[in-house]
Structures are given as C-alpha cells and as structure tokens.
Structure 1
C-alpha cells in the first residue's frame, strides 16, 4: 500500500504540472542546451533556383517555415517547410508581381512576414513594405517607404518595422532620391515615419575630415547618403544603420524617431604586418603583405550585442563602389600618377604583380590638389570590426584574419585579391548559453566563420564552415525556437540558389 500511495501522489503531481503548463499562456519553457559553438555541421540543404534565387531568409517559429527571397527569373518569396531541418521541403510561394515591386529582404515576428520591395516601375520611386500572414500568406498591409528599401527588420519587441532605403541614382544621375530610413509602428495601423539626412549637411566638412565619404559627383548631402542595413538593440529603443558607400553608421532613437548621430568610420592602415593584404590577381600567388594603402571600412551588414551593460555593434566591412554611366568612382592604381616624394618607387608599385591591379576610390587621395595621388584609398577593410555603440569608436578589428584563415581553409579566391579579398558580407551575433557568438559570412570564399565575442576586445576564433556559392544571408535560429530544440544556422547563397542548414554538437 505504501508503494501504491507514492505512485498515486506522483501521478497527481504530474497531472497538476500538465494543467499548469496548459494555463501558462502557451509559453514554451526556456530551452537550455549545452552546445559547442565551434562544431557547426551541415545537416540539410535545398536548392530553390539559380543565381539570385536565395538571398535573404527569415524563419517563422509558429509554422516552422522559412521564407526566402527568390529573384532568379521570378519575383516571389519561396516557402520552405523546416519541420525536419535535415529534409527542408519547398511547400509554397508568395507571388509579388501584383505589388509592382521586387523583394530585397524579409523579416518575421509573431506570424507576420515583412517584405521590402523596391519599385519595378521606377527604381528611384518610393518602395514598399508588404506584410503577410505566415500561415495562409494573406495580405495584412502595404506601407510606402523611401526609395529602394534594401533591408527590412522587426524590432525585438515587434513594435517597429525598420527599413534602410538606399535611394540609389539612375544610370545617368538624372534621378537621385534621398537615402532614407523608415520606421513603421505596427500597433498604430502601420503608421510610417521616413527620415532623411538633410539635417546633417552642415556637418559635412567635419564628417569628411573623420573619414565619412561624400561623392564628388553628389548633388546634395542627403541624396548621396545610402543606407544599407539595420540592427536594433535588445530593448528596441536604438538602431544602428550602415551607410555603406559613405563609410559611416547612423544611430537612430526609435522612441523619438530621430537620427541622433552619424559615426564616420575612418580608414584602416594596410601598411602593417597584421593588416597586410594580397593585392594582385596576376601574381600567381597569395601573399599577405604590408602596402602603403588605406581601406575605407564601408560596411554592408551590421549586428548588435551587449556585454557588461555596454552596447556594441559589429560590421562586415565589404566595401562598395558606385558604378554608373554618368559617374564611376573606381579605378585601377596603375592608371594614376603618384606623388614622387611620397612614392619614390612608383614605377615598381604600378606593376600588375604589385599594386597595379588594386582598385582604388577614384576621387580620393590627392590631398594637396596638384593632380597626383598622395595616398591610396581602397574599398573595404577585408575584416569585421566591433565598435562601441555609444561612441562609435573601434573596440576590435579582425585585421587580415578573414583572408588568412580563408587561405588556410583552402577557399581564398586569388582572383578577388585586387578587389576586396574574402569580401565579408554578413554578420550575426547570437547568444549561445552564456557566450556571445559571432557568425561572419564571406561572399567570395564561400564560407562562414565563427568567433566568440563574449569579450568584445579580444574575440576568439572558433571555426570555418563551407557554404554554397556567394553566401548572402545568415540566419540564426535559437534553440528555444528551433524545430529540433537545437540552435541552427541557415545560410542563403545567391550564387547558386542553395539554402544550407547547420547545427552544432552538444558539449
């Protein structure tokens, strides 16, 4: 009888526990998984098309679906069942042609899919954010934003949708819309506030002195600024936006809906051993050598995290040129006249096996205005960088680690040496246990790398992982939201239209 009583009591306790779970707003218990972030391995893959088929992907935990931008001869969002990540299956699509826009980016919160659409009628006209239901793909709302929304994201609390509206000119520069940022209030019937950078024009000289770039062809400060990518703080009060072609980052107060600061990112000195770069695609070798060259950081993707109550943002320093019929700002080093005092070995430097092939920023470097180059400025920093989120000052730069580790991994593309090297494209910082883990996507070496950035001043390299061709989007799915209850990384590669899913081992 004693044993029976204990069994009944145990059953009653279990029954009560189940009832309590059912009455707890259907919230899932916190998933604590002891994973090793240095052991991500591919567990699943799906091809959804050819080039440009898999650019950016978002995940809906309610339906266990992926939603992926597909611009490979189509204009749609592909829907993929991720219930079993080892066997991802395409199960549907959302046709975007009725909305007169082509998708650039997607984001999801609480069963709502936000899609950023640039106008297919006139690329320089205002774009849209279109919001769909992730269950039945029905339209919820269309919102007008600025020209060419290149990236869209929900705030962590779901109250806001933000877009970075790049506002690129047309090919003859007869139309050059302002670059803008749009802030959409979800609960206020998707009311939108679109901000431009005209109020900062009076700071142009100071910003330029500190490394912010305004094109010599620019008609105005506001038109020249080109927002690229957005990240939002965990408390949903602050955003940081990369201004890629301008070599800067804007800080935005979401509560007041104002751009509060522009951080000019300055220059990286490649003339040190730890920053040495491979600069020629014609020398039949890979050698990371110091050169008397500077790099503009010009970041693409950005991600934020905090450590010891300090905010940080991390950038993928890809670099980007402006190439239009009316104006281009990229030119080979060999086509310049170099200042003889600064570069007494100019003839040697101009050899294609040395610096001759390196792409430089065309309208920079003539510091005294006498028609020759006093310094050489190139595109990108070939690195990731961690910056203080409050001051915009550098905390850590990865130097030439991405290129060197790509070479060690066997995927460094020497044919990109004259351009931007491994070309860091994407960055995502995620919490795994008590560690902050950084994932860096490398477009030209078809890989991502992981670093432990728990100490932002001293990141620790963990792993390099092979991806599809030209990884564009990195998506981290935490264990608490994952269909496997294990952390997942989803990599979308626009070169071959492949989506790959990776999972780490347990410790």
Structure 2
C-alpha cells in the first residue's frame, strides 16, 4: 500500500491559472428553473442534482431528490429550454445515466443508516414508463454508463451517520460497487454482480463508502471512496485491477478562518487529505478527481492520476485562487473545505478534450483543456446556479448542461436551476469583474454603492458582510473583464473600521470620499455619514438628527451623491412617518449642517418589497436604482429612474415634504438576463462617467446562499 502523496502547492509555479485567450469559449445561453416542471404547483423545495442527456442530445433528465422525482427538459432549442414534466420514482433519486432513450435512475429507499436499501429503475423516456426495477441491497449514490451501452455501474455508498460517533467511519454496513447489464433498452437484473471494496483503504478499510463512478472505453470502472481517501479501478466483471490512496496536499495561501468577515489568504493546511468526490476518465489510462473532502480532508482542487496509481498533475490552490479573483470565494466555508470541488464531467469539443469541475460552494464551473492529461490547462470559470452538482457534456451540439441543487425557497434565495452553455467562437462573457493582476491575491464580494471619477475609474464599496474588512475597490472598467486595481481599507484610528455598513460612496472633490452607512440597531450599527481621506482613514462621522432617528428602521441609506455643498442619500424603504410606497431622499448641507428631505414615489411591490439601491447625480438630474427583492421569473422591478435637480428642493424634517417626479430611464431586466442567467435580485451599484456612460453592478451577498455571480456592466450613455 502506498503512503499518502504530499505535493506542496507552492511548487506548482508551472500551473498557470491565467485564462488562455482562445477563439473558442463556453458561454451560458439559458437557465431553466426547476419549478417550471410542476405546472405552477411546485413544492416548497426542489432540486436539480445529477443530470444526463438522451442519445440524440435533445432531452435532459435530472434528479430532484427533495421532490422524489426525475425532471425532464426539452432542449431542442437550447436557448429556450422547455418543461416536459416529472416522474415520481417512489423514493429519493440519487443518480441518473441514460443509454439511448432509457434513463437508469438510482433510488434510495433506506429506512435508516444501519438498514440501507435502494433500487435502480429503467425509465422509457418515450412514454415515461418504468420497464425494470433491480433491488440493489443498499443505498445507491452514483451511476455511470458504459460507452458501448452494455452495462451500468452503481456506487453503493451506505453512507455514514454524521451525528453518530463524531461522524467518523467505520460505520457498518459497508458499501460496494454493483454492475448490471443492459439488454434491449432495459435492465437485466439477473446479471447483477458486486465488487467488494473491503480491505483496500488504509482509512477504515472495513467500511468503504464509494462516492462517484465512471467507465472508460475498455469497460474499466474507476470509483472514489471519499471518506476512505482511496481510489479503485475495477474490471467490468468485478475484479480489482488497481487501488491506491488519493494522498494529500500541502496547501499554502488559503483562508482557514470562518469569520465571515474578512478575506485573508495567508494561512496553510499541511498534509490535507484529498478525499475525492467526482471522478472522470480523460482517456483509457488517465482520470481526474475533484477533491471536495467530507470527513477530514478536502484539498480544494483537482488531481490527475494514471490508473496504476501514479500521480501526474495537481492543481493545488490555483483553482481556488482563480475563484477568489472573480469574487466567488465562500468565506463562510473557509474553516471547512473552501470552494469544495465536487462534481465533474468530461467532453471533447471540436477535437479538444475538456474536464469540467464544479465548485459546489463557489457556484462556478472550471474548464480545463486536457489535451495532455499530465498538464491540464485552465481555460475559464463559468457562472452557475447555486451549488452545481452534476453536469453533462453534449459535444455533438456544442453544449454543456449543469444541474444546480440548492433551492432557496425557505431563505428567500434563488430556486434550483438547470443551466446551459454553448461552445462557440467568441470571447468569454464572464467574469465581468476580476482582481487578477494585483500584486497580492485579493478577494472581494458584496459590492454595493459606486461612484466614478474624472479619470474614468470607478470606486465601489463592500457592505457589512465583510464587517472586519471594510474596503473601497478601485476599478478600471476599460478592460474586459473590468479590473480591480486597488483595495483601500477603510480604517478608524489605523485599524479596520468596525460597525459600519457601507451602502453608498461619493467623491468629496479633494481626493477623499463620503460614505453612507446603513444602520441596524440589532447589530449596533448606527445610521451615519463618514468622511474619509484618500487612504480610507475616517476623518469625520456625522450621525443622524433626532427627527430622523425617531422614525428610522433598519432599511436606511442605500447610496449617496454630492450636489454642490449638499449630500443626498436615498432611504431604501419606508420609515415610520413615510406614506405608503414613498421613501425619503435625505439632504445634508455641508456648510449649514442642516438636514432636510423630499419624498420619492417608488413602485408598489407585486411580491415581497421594493426599495431604492443607489443614486448618483449627473448633468441636470439624479439617477436612482429601484428594485424589488425577487429573483428569476418573480422579479418585476429592476429599473433606473431620473429626477430633475430642479425638483430636488428639500423641506425641513418634520414638515410636509415635496414629492418629486420620476422618469423611467431603463428597465434593467433585459440586461440582467443578457448572459443567460436568471434575474439577480440585488442591483445595488450605479456609477456615471464624465461622458455620461452609466455602469451598473449587483451585490452577490458574499456568496452566502447566493451563486456568487456579480454582474458589472455598462448600459451606455444617458442623457444630461
């Protein structure tokens, strides 16, 4: 038995993560909400976990574990996927593989961890009938189909109880590997054969817990044993051909602190076990694994092995670092497994073999060119729905589809989606914004208010999600993607400023900034204005007057702009004294130190609420972002309005406030769907350049119950 393999990530200087600028790229073209398959009667929780495609490439089938169904999607027109409904499978569907027009579905029916059970069902997709059911004698976790369609392989995990004995293995019964022949388009249950995996691993060898399987052109099955940190290659008749430890990696330059308040990549994890999840053959000799981790490990990257156990390539921290740069790093998972590479897929597009790695917690798909399996080349990061789990390549149509399992019904987040990508000639449309090229690895996220300067730079603030690391990001929008070129720490007396929630930024005309902070009494964050020097040091703090504090709520200032000697701040939602569907635009005169306001008529919500997000002055108007808090097809109000400065004549607080007139400038929903994604809820940033070009950004909530996607785009010039 080989000892765990150690590979220090800092020695991987030759593994470049800078995207290769090729003519061909994958770009997302459509998003399909899983709820669409339920004819308007979707359950409270749905999912899209594992996905496959029919032989003709026209129909997707995905597993929906919470709903106990498989879902079917017509992708005859991949840019407009259409629902084909669902089929109940009398249990929890865990995996699906398709041969021809028959779906083979693994179904978990376990009563308990100690009494696992399950079936595999053959479903004729022509009429959605179940043509065969084979008892597996355990809990199926994943399936794979032979390339010639002659058999399927099923990993029987018999998973551990994470609440029992500190969640450690061994926990009997052990798992194993099952193979079943396919004949005449259905299952031959009499051909079921088992391959025992007991006694192979150094970690709890008596309790193998198989996770993912894949089959190469020779009919050889590779299976990952995640908690056992082991890999086995098995012949189609059940013989163990080779087996070996997945090894370990020394990780340097990562964030290991779950403080959810700062992005600091200066920690390490020596000897981190890989504990692989997803696995895919690249050819008949080499395969790649995704090192998610589960019990003790998770090395945050991808590894390539020869089937004899020789390690040939390791990504180390480079994949996670690339994800950090595009704002998708999930800081809340820092003390666990970081971005958690989990699912994988392989496909050859226009003669180039690709491996796709799904980072579950970062909600991105990493694309690698594996023309040389011993030296994969990073190509792209694709935006996904929340928690991509499964993917299927459809090279003959130039398509990739992903299944995204997280459903945000209870949390007010986006619902589960299937997403489609097209491989075609042209530039990559994502990311919109990156910190690549900075001298120091710089993470970012939760962008809120923005402002532009006379030199064509944009400054954006991050909100209170990063409470111990408040920052202003200087952005060069002239490049594609736009580049963060400086991160300015906001400090008080030389240390990171605490108890602020930056939601708006304006230039003070002297090289410094004005910041609007949205207060929250439950977090002891005051509603306030802050004057900062060019270095981010707080010079002055201005609290709200009693007339405002007596009527405030937690939904405070969501932007700031400077007009002459006056600062203007839009209040996000109604305060206690506001008429329904009206909010204050609050004015503070820097010379007289007087407070006043006007009223702004916002849209009545069709669902949830509607509020203001940012405001900036340009020419003879102020421009205001108005949005609801809805995602996807539920979203209605994502708009920009203008108000003439001639109407911005405020009245004293406590008096009758004048109501301004707004004019629609742009409906932003077409912009928010222009890259094939669902409508993101938080349109929070607006900056207008000296020539009138307007830029808009979205807040990704620090990648917490969010896909992490940040849209940063120009809507062109606006009128003065």
Q: What's the TM-score once normalised by structure 2's chain length? A: 0.50
After superposition, residues 206-355 of structure 1 pair within 5 angstroms as 207-208=201-202, 213-214=203-204, 221-222=205-206, 224-235=207-218, 237-254=219-236, 256-270=237-251, 275-282=252-259, 284-289=261-266, 291=268, 293-306=270-283, 311-321=285-295
Q: Does 1:383 align with 2:296?
A: no
C-alpha deviation, 1:285, in angstroms: 3.3
Match of 1:196 in 2: 196
SS in 2 for 1:403: helix
Match of 2:155 in 1: 164
Q: Is the 8 A contact 1:102 1:120 kept in 2?
A: no
Q: Is the 8 A contact 1:105 1:116 kept in 2?
A: yes
1:492 corresponds to which of 403, 406, 412: 403
State the distance in 1 between where 2:267 and 2:171 align.
Answer: 41
C-alpha deviation, 1:86, in angstroms: 1.1
Q: Looking at both structures, which has the greater relative contact order when contacts are Cα pairs under 8 Å and sequence separation is at least 6?
A: 1
Q: Is the 8 A contact 1:168 1:176 kept in 2?
A: no
C-alpha deviation, 1:193, in angstroms: 0.5
**Could you tell which deviates more after superposition, 170-179 or 463-472?**
170-179
C-alpha deviation, 1:172, in angstroms: 5.0
1:77-108 per-position Cα deviation (integer Å, ceiling 9, x unaligned): 111111111111112211112xxx21101010
1:59 corresponds to which of 53, 61, 80: 53
Q: Is the 8 A contact 1:54 1:492 kept in 2?
A: yes
Change (3 A) 1:52 1:302: farther
Change (3 A) 1:138 1:240: same
Change (3 A) 1:138 1:466: same
C-alpha deviation, 1:63, in angstroms: 7.7
State the distance in 1 between where 2:151 and 2:422 align.
Answer: 30
Match of 1:42 in 2: 28
Q: What's the TM-score once normalised by structure 1's chain length? A: 0.71
C-alpha deviation, 1:287, in angstroms: 3.3
Change (3 A) 1:437 1:128: same
State the distance in 2 between where 1:267 and 1:468 align.
Answer: 30
State the distance in 2 between where 1:426 and 1:466 align.
Answer: 15
Matched length: 380
C-alpha deviation, 1:146, in angstroms: 3.8
Q: Is the 8 A contact 2:57 2:394 kept in 1?
A: no
Q: What RMSD, in angstroms, separates the aligned Cα atoms of the two structures?
A: 2.3
SS in 1 for 2:256: coil
State the distance in 1 between where 2:385 and 2:260 align.
Answer: 27
SS in 1 for 2:316: coil
State the distance in 1 between where 2:349 and 2:82 align.
Answer: 27
Q: Is the 8 A contact 1:413 1:445 kept in 2?
A: yes
Q: Is the 8 A contact 2:52 2:391 kept in 1?
A: no
Match of 2:179 in 1: 183
C-alpha deviation, 1:109, in angstroms: 0.5
State the distance in 1 between where 2:23 and 2:292 align.
Answer: 25
**Structure exhibiting the larger radius of gyration computed from Cα positions:** 2
State the distance in 1 between where 2:24 and 2:378 align.
Answer: 9
Q: Is the 8 A contact 1:146 1:181 kept in 2?
A: no
C-alpha deviation, 1:169, in angstroms: 4.1
Q: Does 1:404 align with 2:397?
A: no
Change (3 A) 1:466 1:169: closer
State the distance in 2 between where 1:312 and 1:175 align.
Answer: 31
C-alpha deviation, 1:125, in angstroms: 2.8
1:188-229 per-position Cα deviation (integer Å, ceiling 9, x unaligned): 83320122223xx3x6xxx53xxxx22xxxxxx43x210000
Change (3 A) 1:169 1:419: closer
- Unaligned 5+ segments in structure 2 are 1-21, 36-43, 408-415, 427-720
Change (3 A) 1:246 1:83: same
**Could you tell which deviates more after superposition, 276-285 or 436-445?**
276-285
- Unaligned 5+ segments in structure 1 are 1-35, 215-220, 322-360, 362-378, 480-485
2:355 corresponds to which of 410, 420, 438: 438
Higher strand share: 2
Q: Is the 8 A contact 2:49 2:390 kept in 1?
A: yes
Change (3 A) 1:299 1:132: same
C-alpha deviation, 1:440, in angstroms: 1.0
SS in 2 for 1:184: strand
State the distance in 2 between where 1:434 and 1:62 align.
Answer: 19
Q: Is the 8 A contact 2:111 2:117 kept in 1?
A: no
Q: Is the 8 A contact 1:63 1:134 kept in 2?
A: no
1:373-399 per-position Cα deviation (integer Å, ceiling 9, x unaligned): xxxxxx21110001111x212100011
Q: Is the 8 A contact 2:110 2:139 kept in 1?
A: no
Match of 1:91 in 2: 84
Match of 1:125 in 2: 116
1:452-488 per-position Cα deviation (integer Å, ceiling 9, x unaligned): 1111222211111110011111111112xxxxxx311
Change (3 A) 1:281 1:169: closer
4+ long deviations beyond 6 Å? none
C-alpha deviation, 1:38, in angstroms: 5.1
State the distance in 2 between where 1:287 and 1:462 align.
Answer: 26
1:106 corresponds to which of 96, 101, 114: 96
Q: Is the 8 A contact 1:316 1:440 kept in 2?
A: yes
Q: Is the 8 A contact 2:110 2:116 kept in 1?
A: no
Higher helix share: 1
C-alpha deviation, 1:292, in angstroms: 5.6
SS in 2 for 1:39: strand
